[in-house]
């Protein structure tokens, strides 16, 4: 398996190194083991899956994150180490212990992450045997190889990078992510790792990541399935020569937060563009709602409708499927005569039925596009939101039916 997709320019983050190697976890001679290294003075924040069957590495990573003084991430693909009981916990912990010995640090300084098939034992011997090679490969320019090394059913690598000015100095934000199926995060995404050299206090970084994830990774869905292994990590290495950001009220905090959201949004959208078998990116914008709950109810009912998603795959302007999804979204006392539904700027529904100026030809022109926006204006309040999803193709069924073969 060789997936090399041109990434944007991936600016190195001072104080953050990545090393990638082949451990032969599932497929021989493919990059499937990644290490990330940073100094103890770095601040580290994480958000994780809400799935009750969260994987062993998620449990261990959360526990080690609470201890602090973290220095390493170890990520394997090909095996999720989920649904593996106590043995899975021991395997995750053992991996941390072995890397800690090699890195001359404590096992709690290591956070493990896994992705791949659920319910199979982690091939610990293969991973441990490959750790020295990954350590030897550590470099601040290792983003491309790491982006490839964390993939499973993905068809492309996903990366984003941005530089901004803070306090007159250049600050870098760079990140990678993976995911294409089993995507409906309740915290972040399948796996995402973002680093900046800005100095940020730990409590402030926690708030920044939660907000950024809610406005990026928590706004995407491919199929409505929340993974057992979802993890999103943000590291601030404190290598930039500026004062530490200690308050969310600081102007520098807002600048940094907006830049990190931009990077994470690019990574999140890349996951949707790589949705298993996806051919179209669908933006769903809900406005005029009473509250955020109404927005999400309507948006995700549309996004998770197999009938809507297959219509988009076929480029079929069957707008009745969107109308039906809005109607069953659970919004109480919904005034169907007031709301409006659009494809891009083409009004589909007005006054409880098809808009007078809508034509099949105009609808077809939008449906033939690779990127489409659905707008639903509920006309009952000021709340609004946007989420991103994709169509549902033959290949989605093929990829997932053959996942373990």
Adjacency order of strands within the sheet including 383-390: 353-354, 346-350, 340-343, 371-377, 281-289, 383-390
Partners of 76 in beta bridges = 33, 114
- Is 189 an annotated catalytic residue? yes
Nearest to 205 by CA among 45, 13, 40: 45
Residue 164 has what DSSP assignment?
A: E
Strands annotated E in 57-127: 72-79, 110-117
- Sheet containing 16-21: which strands, arranged edge to edge? 16-21, 33-38, 72-79, 110-117
Q: Which residues pair with 200 in a beta bridge?
A: 245
CB-based contact 158:178 (threshold 8 Å): yes
Pairing relationship of beta strands 72-79 and 33-38 according to DSSP bridges: antiparallel
Q: Are 209 and 234 in contact (CB under 8 A)?
A: yes
How many Å separate Cα 204 from the centre of its chain? 21
DSSP 109: G
Q: In the chain, what's the furthest Cα-to-Cα distance?
A: 71
What values do phi and psi take at 44, rounded to 5?
-130, 130
Catalytic-labelled residue, pool 189, 196, 221, 389: 189
Task: Quote the CA–CA distance of 259 and 212 in Å, as a whole number.
Answer: 10
Active site residues: 189
């Amino acid at each position: 398996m060789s997936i090399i997709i041109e990434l944007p320019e991936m600016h190195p983050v001072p104080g953050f190194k990545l090393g990638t190697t082949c451990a032969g976890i599932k497929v021989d001679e493919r990059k499937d083991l990644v290490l990330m290294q940073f100094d103890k003075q770095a601040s580290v924040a994480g958000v994780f899956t809400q799935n009750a069957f969260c994987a062993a590495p998620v449990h261990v990573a959360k526990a080690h994150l609470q201890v602090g003084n973290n220095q390493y991430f170890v990520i394997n693909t090909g095996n999720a180490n989920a649904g593996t009981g106590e043995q899975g916990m021991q395997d995750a912990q053992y991996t941390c212990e072995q890397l800690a010995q090699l890195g001359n640090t404590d096992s709690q300084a290591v956070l493990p992450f896994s992705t791949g098939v659920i319910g199979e034992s982690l091939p610990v011997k293969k991973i441990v045997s490959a750790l020295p090679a990954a350590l030897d490969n550590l470099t601040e320019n290792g983003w491309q190889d790491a982006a490839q090394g964390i993939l499973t059913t993905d068809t492309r690598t996903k990366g984003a990078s941005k530089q901004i000015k803070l306090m007159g100095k250049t600050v870098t934000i760079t990140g990678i992510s993976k995911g294409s199926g089993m995507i409906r995060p309740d915290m972040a995404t399948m796996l995402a790792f973002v680093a900046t050299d800005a100095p940020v206090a730990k409590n402030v970084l926690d708030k920044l990541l939660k907000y950024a994830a809610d406005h990026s990774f928590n706004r995407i869905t491919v199929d409505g399935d929340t993974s057992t292994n979802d993890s999103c990590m943000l590291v601030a290495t404190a290598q930039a020569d500026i004062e530490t950001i200690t308050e969310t009220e600081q102007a520098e905090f807002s600048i940094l937060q907006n830049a990190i959201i931009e990077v994470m949004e690019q990574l999140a959208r890349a996951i949707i563009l790589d949705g298993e078998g996806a051919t179209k990116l669908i933006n769903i914008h809900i406005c005029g709602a009473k509250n955020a709950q109404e927005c999400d109810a309507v948006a995700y009912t549309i996004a998770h409708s197999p009938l809507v998603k297959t219509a988009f795959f076929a480029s079929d302007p069957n707008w009745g499927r969107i109308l039906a999804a809005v109607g069953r979204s659970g919004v109480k006392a919904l005034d169907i005569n007031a709301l409006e539904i659009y494809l891009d700027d083409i009004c589909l529904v007005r006054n409880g039925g098809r808009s007078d100026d809508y034509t099949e030809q105009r609808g077809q022109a939008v449906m033939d596009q690779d990127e489409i926006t659905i707008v639903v204006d509920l006309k009952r309040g000021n709340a609004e939101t946007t989420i991103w999803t994709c169509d549902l193709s033959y290949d989605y069924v093929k990829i997932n039916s053959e996942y373990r073969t």
